[in-house]
Amino acid sequence: MKKLINDPNDIVTEMLDGFVAAYPNAVRRVPDTTVIVRKDSPVENKVGLISGGGSGHEPAHAGFVGHGMLDAAVAGEVFTSPTPDQVFEAIKAVDSGAGVLLVIKNYTGDVMNFEMAAELAEAEGIKVDHVVVNDDVAVEDSSFTTGRRGVAGTVFVHKIAGALAAEGASLEEVKAVAEKVIHNVKTMGMALKPCIMPASGEPGFELAEDEMEIGIGIHGEPGSETKKMASANEIVDELMEHVLPELELSGSDEVAVMVNGMGATPAMELYVLNKRVQEQLSEKGIGVHETFVGDYMTALEMAGFSITLLKVDDELKKLLDAPSKAPAFLK
Protein backbone atom coordinates (compact mmCIF):
# COMPACT_ATOMS: atom_id res chain seq x y z
CA MET A 1 0.00 0.00 0.00
CA LYS A 2 1.31 3.43 -0.96
CA LYS A 3 -0.42 6.48 0.54
CA LEU A 4 0.79 9.99 1.29
CA ILE A 5 0.01 9.84 5.00
CA ASN A 6 1.80 9.82 8.34
CA ASP A 7 0.08 7.79 11.03
CA PRO A 8 -3.26 6.30 9.84
CA ASN A 9 -4.67 7.09 13.28
CA ASP A 10 -4.08 10.81 12.71
CA ILE A 11 -5.28 11.07 9.13
CA VAL A 12 -8.67 12.69 9.82
CA THR A 13 -7.28 15.29 12.24
CA GLU A 14 -4.42 16.17 9.90
CA MET A 15 -6.79 16.37 6.93
CA LEU A 16 -9.12 18.76 8.78
CA ASP A 17 -6.24 20.96 9.93
CA GLY A 18 -4.89 21.07 6.39
CA PHE A 19 -8.32 22.00 5.03
CA VAL A 20 -8.67 24.91 7.46
CA ALA A 21 -5.13 26.01 6.61
CA ALA A 22 -6.11 26.11 2.95
CA TYR A 23 -9.24 28.25 3.53
CA PRO A 24 -8.59 30.24 6.73
CA ASN A 25 -10.77 33.15 5.66
CA ALA A 26 -13.77 30.94 4.96
CA VAL A 27 -13.89 28.20 7.60
CA ARG A 28 -12.75 27.30 11.08
CA ARG A 29 -12.59 24.14 13.13
CA VAL A 30 -14.57 23.90 16.35
CA PRO A 31 -11.87 23.20 18.98
CA ASP A 32 -11.44 19.58 20.06
CA THR A 33 -13.95 18.33 17.50
CA THR A 34 -14.09 17.03 13.94
CA VAL A 35 -16.46 19.86 13.01
CA ILE A 36 -15.75 22.40 10.26
CA VAL A 37 -17.98 25.50 10.28
CA ARG A 38 -18.29 28.72 8.35
CA LYS A 39 -15.98 31.27 9.89
CA ASP A 40 -18.94 33.59 10.53
CA SER A 41 -21.14 30.91 12.17
CA PRO A 42 -23.68 31.19 13.61
CA VAL A 43 -25.29 33.44 10.99
CA GLU A 44 -27.97 35.61 12.56
CA ASN A 45 -31.60 34.70 11.73
CA LYS A 46 -30.53 31.94 9.34
CA VAL A 47 -31.39 28.25 9.39
CA GLY A 48 -28.22 26.27 10.02
CA LEU A 49 -27.52 23.50 7.52
CA ILE A 50 -25.34 20.56 8.60
CA SER A 51 -24.17 17.42 6.87
CA GLY A 52 -21.33 15.00 7.30
CA GLY A 53 -20.32 11.37 7.49
CA GLY A 54 -17.23 9.26 7.38
CA SER A 55 -14.05 10.77 5.99
CA GLY A 56 -12.72 9.53 2.66
CA HIS A 57 -15.36 11.24 0.50
CA GLU A 58 -13.49 14.51 0.00
CA PRO A 59 -14.27 17.18 -1.03
CA ALA A 60 -17.44 16.08 0.77
CA HIS A 61 -18.36 17.27 3.21
CA ALA A 62 -16.13 20.08 4.44
CA GLY A 63 -15.60 21.34 0.90
CA PHE A 64 -19.27 22.30 0.76
CA VAL A 65 -19.17 24.53 3.85
CA GLY A 66 -19.67 28.16 2.93
CA HIS A 67 -22.18 30.83 2.03
CA GLY A 68 -24.94 29.30 -0.10
CA MET A 69 -24.33 25.74 1.05
CA LEU A 70 -23.55 24.12 4.41
CA ASP A 71 -22.95 25.92 7.68
CA ALA A 72 -21.09 22.93 9.12
CA ALA A 73 -19.70 19.53 8.19
CA VAL A 74 -18.96 16.77 10.68
CA ALA A 75 -16.25 14.23 9.87
CA GLY A 76 -16.08 10.71 11.22
CA GLU A 77 -13.17 8.33 10.90
CA VAL A 78 -12.66 6.89 7.42
CA PHE A 79 -16.00 5.48 6.20
CA THR A 80 -17.34 5.67 9.77
CA SER A 81 -20.20 7.85 10.98
CA PRO A 82 -19.32 10.78 13.23
CA THR A 83 -20.40 10.29 16.82
CA PRO A 84 -23.56 11.93 18.22
CA ASP A 85 -21.54 14.26 20.44
CA GLN A 86 -19.59 15.56 17.44
CA VAL A 87 -22.81 16.24 15.52
CA PHE A 88 -24.23 17.90 18.65
CA GLU A 89 -21.23 20.24 18.75
CA ALA A 90 -21.92 21.18 15.12
CA ILE A 91 -25.57 21.93 15.91
CA LYS A 92 -24.60 24.22 18.78
CA ALA A 93 -21.98 25.97 16.65
CA VAL A 94 -24.41 26.95 13.87
CA ASP A 95 -27.64 27.54 15.78
CA SER A 96 -28.76 31.18 15.59
CA GLY A 97 -32.27 30.55 16.89
CA ALA A 98 -33.83 29.95 13.47
CA GLY A 99 -33.41 26.18 13.69
CA VAL A 100 -31.03 23.62 12.22
CA LEU A 101 -31.55 21.11 9.39
CA LEU A 102 -29.46 17.93 9.25
CA VAL A 103 -28.84 16.43 5.79
CA ILE A 104 -28.16 12.74 6.36
CA LYS A 105 -27.06 10.16 3.80
CA ASN A 106 -29.00 6.94 4.21
CA TYR A 107 -26.50 4.78 6.05
CA THR A 108 -27.53 3.11 9.29
CA GLY A 109 -24.79 4.63 11.43
CA ASP A 110 -25.27 8.14 10.06
CA VAL A 111 -29.03 8.08 10.54
CA MET A 112 -28.78 6.76 14.09
CA ASN A 113 -26.03 9.12 15.24
CA PHE A 114 -27.43 12.27 13.63
CA GLU A 115 -30.89 11.55 15.09
CA MET A 116 -29.37 11.01 18.54
CA ALA A 117 -27.58 14.35 18.22
CA ALA A 118 -30.85 16.02 17.26
CA GLU A 119 -32.44 14.66 20.44
CA LEU A 120 -29.58 16.06 22.53
CA ALA A 121 -30.02 19.46 20.89
CA GLU A 122 -33.78 19.50 21.30
CA ALA A 123 -33.32 18.75 25.00
CA GLU A 124 -31.42 22.05 25.18
CA GLY A 125 -34.16 23.94 23.37
CA ILE A 126 -32.65 23.98 19.87
CA LYS A 127 -35.13 23.39 17.05
CA VAL A 128 -33.75 20.62 14.82
CA ASP A 129 -35.14 18.70 11.86
CA HIS A 130 -33.59 16.36 9.31
CA VAL A 131 -33.87 14.81 5.87
CA VAL A 132 -32.42 11.50 4.64
CA VAL A 133 -30.95 11.27 1.13
CA ASN A 134 -31.41 7.96 -0.73
CA ASP A 135 -30.56 8.72 -4.36
CA ASP A 136 -28.70 5.51 -5.28
CA VAL A 137 -30.76 3.33 -7.63
CA ALA A 138 -28.37 0.37 -7.72
CA VAL A 139 -28.89 -1.32 -4.36
CA GLU A 140 -32.05 -1.46 -2.26
CA ASP A 141 -30.40 -2.84 0.90
CA SER A 142 -26.73 -3.26 1.73
CA SER A 143 -24.40 -4.01 4.61
CA PHE A 144 -24.39 -0.28 5.32
CA THR A 145 -28.06 0.60 5.09
CA THR A 146 -31.70 -0.34 5.00
CA GLY A 147 -33.19 1.01 1.80
CA ARG A 148 -31.31 2.92 -0.86
CA ARG A 149 -27.98 4.53 -0.12
CA GLY A 150 -27.29 8.25 -0.14
CA VAL A 151 -24.53 9.09 -2.60
CA ALA A 152 -23.49 11.97 -4.90
CA GLY A 153 -27.01 13.38 -5.23
CA THR A 154 -26.52 14.63 -1.68
CA VAL A 155 -24.42 17.46 -3.10
CA PHE A 156 -27.46 18.84 -4.94
CA VAL A 157 -29.38 18.76 -1.63
CA HIS A 158 -26.58 20.77 0.01
CA LYS A 159 -26.58 23.32 -2.79
CA ILE A 160 -30.30 23.89 -3.17
CA ALA A 161 -31.27 23.77 0.51
CA GLY A 162 -28.27 25.95 1.30
CA ALA A 163 -29.30 28.55 -1.26
CA LEU A 164 -32.81 28.77 0.17
CA ALA A 165 -31.48 29.02 3.73
CA ALA A 166 -29.23 31.88 2.59
CA GLU A 167 -32.36 33.75 1.46
CA GLY A 168 -33.70 33.65 5.02
CA ALA A 169 -36.29 30.92 4.55
CA SER A 170 -37.78 29.12 7.54
CA LEU A 171 -36.70 25.69 8.75
CA GLU A 172 -39.91 24.21 7.37
CA GLU A 173 -39.29 25.79 3.95
CA VAL A 174 -35.67 24.64 3.81
CA LYS A 175 -36.68 21.10 4.75
CA ALA A 176 -39.43 21.10 2.10
CA VAL A 177 -37.07 22.07 -0.72
CA ALA A 178 -34.50 19.51 0.48
CA GLU A 179 -37.16 16.81 0.31
CA LYS A 180 -38.15 18.03 -3.15
CA VAL A 181 -34.58 17.52 -4.33
CA ILE A 182 -34.39 14.08 -2.70
CA HIS A 183 -37.58 13.03 -4.51
CA ASN A 184 -36.20 14.18 -7.87
CA VAL A 185 -32.54 13.09 -7.78
CA LYS A 186 -31.17 9.68 -8.78
CA THR A 187 -27.63 8.28 -9.02
CA MET A 188 -25.77 5.16 -10.10
CA GLY A 189 -22.04 4.46 -10.11
CA MET A 190 -19.39 1.94 -11.13
CA ALA A 191 -15.75 1.14 -10.37
CA LEU A 192 -12.70 -0.08 -12.26
CA LYS A 193 -10.63 -0.53 -9.10
CA PRO A 194 -11.49 -0.59 -5.38
CA CYS A 195 -10.11 1.81 -2.81
CA ILE A 196 -7.63 0.85 -0.10
CA MET A 197 -8.45 1.50 3.55
CA PRO A 198 -5.61 3.49 5.19
CA ALA A 199 -5.70 1.53 8.47
CA SER A 200 -5.81 -1.98 7.04
CA GLY A 201 -4.14 -1.55 3.67
CA GLU A 202 -6.77 -3.89 2.22
CA PRO A 203 -9.12 -3.31 -0.76
CA GLY A 204 -12.87 -3.38 -0.27
CA PHE A 205 -13.29 -5.95 -3.05
CA GLU A 206 -11.30 -7.68 -5.77
CA LEU A 207 -11.50 -7.15 -9.53
CA ALA A 208 -9.58 -8.85 -12.30
CA GLU A 209 -7.92 -6.64 -14.91
CA ASP A 210 -10.76 -7.28 -17.37
CA GLU A 211 -13.58 -6.72 -14.84
CA MET A 212 -15.60 -3.78 -13.54
CA GLU A 213 -18.05 -3.39 -10.66
CA ILE A 214 -21.49 -1.94 -11.43
CA GLY A 215 -23.60 -0.24 -8.77
CA ILE A 216 -20.91 0.59 -6.21
CA GLY A 217 -21.45 2.80 -3.18
CA ILE A 218 -19.12 5.38 -1.64
CA HIS A 219 -17.62 3.28 1.15
CA GLY A 220 -15.48 0.98 -0.93
CA GLU A 221 -18.17 -1.66 -0.87
CA PRO A 222 -18.86 -3.88 -3.90
CA GLY A 223 -21.83 -3.11 -6.10
CA SER A 224 -24.69 -5.08 -7.52
CA GLU A 225 -22.82 -6.90 -10.28
CA THR A 226 -19.31 -7.72 -11.47
CA LYS A 227 -19.02 -7.65 -15.27
CA LYS A 228 -16.46 -7.77 -18.03
CA MET A 229 -14.93 -4.42 -18.94
CA ALA A 230 -16.75 -2.38 -21.59
CA SER A 231 -16.25 0.90 -23.47
CA ALA A 232 -17.04 4.27 -21.90
CA ASN A 233 -20.17 4.65 -24.02
CA GLU A 234 -21.42 1.19 -23.13
CA ILE A 235 -20.93 1.82 -19.42
CA VAL A 236 -22.77 5.15 -19.57
CA ASP A 237 -25.60 3.53 -21.50
CA GLU A 238 -25.97 0.84 -18.84
CA LEU A 239 -26.04 3.30 -15.95
CA MET A 240 -28.46 5.60 -17.75
CA GLU A 241 -30.78 2.64 -18.39
CA HIS A 242 -31.20 2.39 -14.62
CA VAL A 243 -31.27 6.10 -13.72
CA LEU A 244 -33.58 7.53 -16.39
CA PRO A 245 -36.68 5.40 -15.73
CA GLU A 246 -36.56 6.34 -12.05
CA LEU A 247 -37.24 10.00 -12.91
CA GLU A 248 -40.04 9.37 -15.42
CA LEU A 249 -38.81 12.22 -17.61
CA SER A 250 -40.70 13.53 -20.61
CA GLY A 251 -39.46 15.55 -23.56
CA SER A 252 -40.39 18.81 -21.86
CA ASP A 253 -38.38 18.13 -18.70
CA GLU A 254 -34.97 19.52 -17.78
CA VAL A 255 -32.27 18.02 -15.60
CA ALA A 256 -29.08 19.01 -13.86
CA VAL A 257 -26.29 16.51 -14.51
CA MET A 258 -23.40 15.48 -12.30
CA VAL A 259 -20.67 13.20 -13.62
CA ASN A 260 -18.82 12.51 -10.40
CA GLY A 261 -15.36 10.99 -10.15
CA MET A 262 -14.80 8.46 -7.37
CA GLY A 263 -11.32 9.74 -6.53
CA ALA A 264 -8.86 8.33 -9.08
CA THR A 265 -10.56 8.90 -12.42
CA PRO A 266 -8.80 11.42 -14.68
CA ALA A 267 -10.76 14.48 -15.75
CA MET A 268 -10.11 13.44 -19.34
CA GLU A 269 -12.15 10.27 -18.82
CA LEU A 270 -14.93 12.08 -16.95
CA TYR A 271 -15.40 14.41 -19.91
CA VAL A 272 -15.51 11.45 -22.30
CA LEU A 273 -18.24 9.95 -20.13
CA ASN A 274 -20.10 13.26 -19.96
CA LYS A 275 -20.13 13.46 -23.76
CA ARG A 276 -22.14 10.25 -23.88
CA VAL A 277 -24.47 11.34 -21.07
CA GLN A 278 -25.27 14.51 -22.99
CA GLU A 279 -25.84 12.55 -26.21
CA GLN A 280 -28.27 10.24 -24.44
CA LEU A 281 -30.28 13.13 -23.00
CA SER A 282 -30.31 15.00 -26.31
CA GLU A 283 -31.56 11.93 -28.16
CA LYS A 284 -34.46 11.70 -25.70
CA GLY A 285 -35.30 15.40 -26.01
CA ILE A 286 -34.45 16.08 -22.36
CA GLY A 287 -33.04 19.54 -21.71
CA VAL A 288 -29.91 20.04 -19.62
CA HIS A 289 -29.99 23.07 -17.35
CA GLU A 290 -26.47 22.72 -15.99
CA THR A 291 -23.71 20.12 -15.88
CA PHE A 292 -21.13 19.43 -13.18
CA VAL A 293 -18.09 17.27 -13.96
CA GLY A 294 -15.45 16.45 -11.37
CA ASP A 295 -14.85 14.92 -7.96
CA TYR A 296 -17.70 15.81 -5.60
CA MET A 297 -18.37 12.66 -3.54
CA THR A 298 -15.45 10.23 -3.67
CA ALA A 299 -14.36 6.94 -2.11
CA LEU A 300 -10.68 7.56 -1.37
CA GLU A 301 -8.74 6.50 -4.49
CA MET A 302 -11.42 4.33 -6.08
CA ALA A 303 -11.25 4.43 -9.87
CA GLY A 304 -14.74 4.89 -11.28
CA PHE A 305 -17.57 7.38 -11.53
CA SER A 306 -21.25 7.97 -10.93
CA ILE A 307 -23.99 9.68 -12.90
CA THR A 308 -26.52 11.83 -11.05
CA LEU A 309 -29.59 13.36 -12.67
CA LEU A 310 -31.77 15.92 -10.90
CA LYS A 311 -35.13 16.76 -12.43
CA VAL A 312 -35.45 20.53 -12.10
CA ASP A 313 -38.24 23.07 -12.22
CA ASP A 314 -37.99 26.88 -12.08
CA GLU A 315 -37.55 26.90 -8.29
CA LEU A 316 -34.77 24.32 -8.27
CA LYS A 317 -32.99 25.98 -11.21
CA LYS A 318 -32.99 29.35 -9.46
CA LEU A 319 -31.55 27.87 -6.28
CA LEU A 320 -29.01 25.75 -8.13
CA ASP A 321 -27.79 28.87 -9.94
CA ALA A 322 -27.53 30.96 -6.76
CA PRO A 323 -24.03 31.98 -5.70
CA SER A 324 -21.97 29.78 -3.40
CA LYS A 325 -18.69 30.45 -1.65
CA ALA A 326 -18.10 26.84 -0.62
CA PRO A 327 -14.52 25.91 -1.66
CA ALA A 328 -15.61 22.82 -3.64
CA PHE A 329 -18.64 24.47 -5.26
CA LEU A 330 -17.71 28.04 -6.10
CA LYS A 331 -20.30 29.77 -8.30
Rounded distance between C-alpha atoms, residue 260 and residue 268, angstroms: 13
Phi, psi torsion values for 174, nearest 5 degrees: -65, -40
Catalytic residue IDs:
57, 219
Q: Is 210 helix (H, G, I), strand (E, B) or coil?
A: coil
- For residue 329, the 8-state DSSP code is S
What distances in angstroms separate CA 16 from CA 21, 27, 29, 128, one per listed residue?
A: 9, 11, 8, 25
Residues 6 or more apart whose Cβ sits within 8 Å of residue 174? 47, 49, 101, 161, 164, 165
Question: 181-206 pLDDT, tens per residue?
Answer: 999 999 999 999 999 999 888 888 89
Measured distance CA(154)–CA(171) in Å, rounded: 18
Residue 66 has a pLDDT of 98
pLDDT tens per residue across span 152-163: 999 999 999 999
- Domains by residue range for the chain, with CATH: 10-184 (3.40.50.10440), 185-321 (3.30.1180.20)
Can you tell me the mean pLDDT for 305-310?
98
316: left (phi over 0), alpha (psi -120 to 50) or beta: alpha
Q: What is the Cα 285 distance to its own chain's centre?
A: 28
Helix (H) or strand (E) holding 101: strand 100-105
3-state secondary structure of 268: helix
**Is residue 320 within 8 Å of residue 290, measured between CB atoms?**
yes
- Of 321, 276, 13, 304, the C-alpha closest to 151 is 304
- pLDDT value at 48 more than 80: yes
The stretch 198-217 carries a mean pLDDT of 92
CB atoms within 10 A of CB 25: 6
Is the per-residue pLDDT at 142 higher than 70? no
Of 64, 55, 119, 129, which is closest to residue 98 (Cα–Cα)?
Answer: 129
Query: What is the band of 141 on the pLDDT scale with cuts at 50, 70, 90?
Result: low
Q: CA nearest 127: which of 98, 105, 93?
A: 98
- Cβ pair 270, 295 in contact under 8 A: no
Burial class (CB in 10 A: 0-12, 13-18, 19+), 253: middle
**What letters, b where the CB count within 10 A reaches 16 and e where it falls short, cover 115-149?**
bebbebbeeeebbbbbbbbbbbbbbeebebbeebb
Categorize the per-residue pLDDT at 120 as very low, low, confident or very high, splitting at 50, 70 and 90: very high
What gap in Å lies between CA 316 and CA 76, rounded to an integer?
30
Confidence of residue 140 (pLDDT cuts 50, 70, 90): confident
Do residues 190 and 229 make contact, with C-beta atoms less than 8 angstroms apart? no
Helices (H), 81-224: 84-94, 108-123, 154-166, 171-184
The CA distance from 176 to 181, in Å, is: 9
Task: Indicate the pTM of the whole model.
Answer: 0.97
- Given a contact cutoff of 8 angstroms between Cβ atoms, the answer to whether 157 and 164 are in contact is no
pLDDT of residue 145: 64
Residue 224, classified by CB atoms within 10 Å of its CB into exposed (0-12), middle (13-18) or buried (19+), is middle
- According to the model, what pLDDT value does residue 285 have? 94
